[in-house]
Structure 1
């Protein structure tokens, strides 16, 4: 039984990433592909909806990763995710355009929940590839992303307290 076009999903390595392949150069014999490394089905579905609606690969990756951040996939992604050793939840995200090889990333970003959108803004509006900590937060807010907001949750604080008590 042959695979149906526009219905191919792969779950691979244990890293959070979402890849959309072949969308900008779709020809009659080529079909876009959504690849995810973890079984975050709703993130894949969000990316696929974007691909199916004609969005670019980068737009589709942002949609999929944004869904995962919003849904707090497996409790580690997005607001309320795994806290650092001080008990604070921060956000890391990276995006790469495979056509242009442009990269944007944020790390240890505080007060802004939209990590992948912030990473895309870094890629599109700066000469940098990575912004970290307060500078990432300031940049994201200055570009119109919502913030400041508390990224911790009761669950993340409980996780941190258990970790701290076990040391």
Structure 2
């Protein structure tokens, strides 16, 4: 009799364990999910009066191109990760944004690039920081996610890995743009005029208007119900000493989990690191049983504002809801959902 009772009990525990594992690794919806994507091209001192009509139109067209290209991947049955990558690569290749071509300059007049990506279905993630010669940092982050035993690689080691994996390498001047060089010159001049020359922290806080947040990112939900998030950046104008911001840090600038949401952040990275912004939003959705919009608004417009942090996020949940709050003057952003047209915005009033 004891053996007869033991066998079903063991099977019951095995079934329970398998069900729990499946609940974590597979989407909540058994049917196909409503596909959706959102992108950003950075937040900061973005005011309409600083744009000509032609400049504004150029930014809007590039944002629309990126979001439509990412959405096309989803519509054709591609993964959320693939959609995130192709959308970000369009922005990395554009001189309008602070990622890839158009990345800001370091204090020493070079470019140091960061990126990260995360798969919400598996929680696999890849990140890269401080690379100078990789044409597409988001592509390297994804290869790290898929082929490296590590989550984050940096500097020369990351570049060696990129070469080993056959990624495109370029000279650092590939990322040069005249308007970013002008920003660097102005930033260094302001730093030299600062009364806080011996206090790096205070000097850079006084330089806030020259940080030029232009980090790019994307979040997506695919037909299988899987979420993904990615972020790519050139960092902060005139950064020194190998500074790394939030963009390559999982939980700060990038986070994705099918049980809650996917987030990509942009702004003054030091605050996003301290308050683990991306993961905090997803944790609020998962454990407080509140909407994505409420969670994102609370973190961006309450927590960060109280701390003195400027910037914004794009976020998407497993139902395809999108939130894009920011507390700065503007944020380059766009989104597209199933059955809808691309929605593009830049300024606070939109």
TM-score (norm 1): 0.75
Describe the SS at the equivalent of 2:93: helix
Match of 1:45 in 2: 68
Q: 2:112 and 2:131 mapped to 1: Cα distance?
A: 5
Describe the SS at the equivalent of 2:108: coil
Q: In 2, are the aligned partners of 1:141 and 1:148 still within 8 Å (CA)?
A: no
Q: In 1, are the aligned partners of 2:118 and 2:125 still within 8 Å (CA)?
A: yes
Deviation per CA, 1:46-67: give whole Å up to 9, x if none: 2111112221111111111111
Match of 1:158 in 2: 182
Deviation per CA, 1:16-56: give whole Å up to 9, x if none: xxxxxx99x7835x311112345733221121111122211
Work out which of the residue numbers 25, 35, 38 in structure 1 matches 2:38. Answer: 35
Answer 1 or 2: higher relative contact order, Cα 8 Å, separation at least 6. 2
Q: 2:99 and 2:72 mapped to 1: Cα distance?
A: 21
Matches within 5 A, 1:1-167: 27=31, 30-38=33-41, 40-72=63-95, 74-150=96-172, 151-167=175-191
Larger % of helix: which? 2
**Paired residues, what number?**
143
Task: Give the superposition deviation at 1:154.
Answer: 2.9
Structure 2 vs 1, CA of residues 97 and 89 (structure 1 numbering), >3 Å: closer, same or farther?
A: same
TM-score (norm 2): 0.38
Larger % of strand: which? 2
RMSD: 2.3
Structure 1 gaps of 5+ residues are 1-21
Is 91-100 or 38-47 further displaced after alignment? 38-47
Structure 2 gaps of 5+ residues are 1-25, 42-59, 192-350
Deviation per CA, 1:59-102: give whole Å up to 9, x if none: 11111111111124x43122231112222112111100000000
From the CA coordinates, give the structure whose radius of gyration is larger: 2
Q: 1:143 and 1:101 mapped to 2: Cα distance?
A: 22
Structure 2 vs 1, CA of residues 101 and 66 (structure 1 numbering), >3 Å: closer, same or farther?
A: same
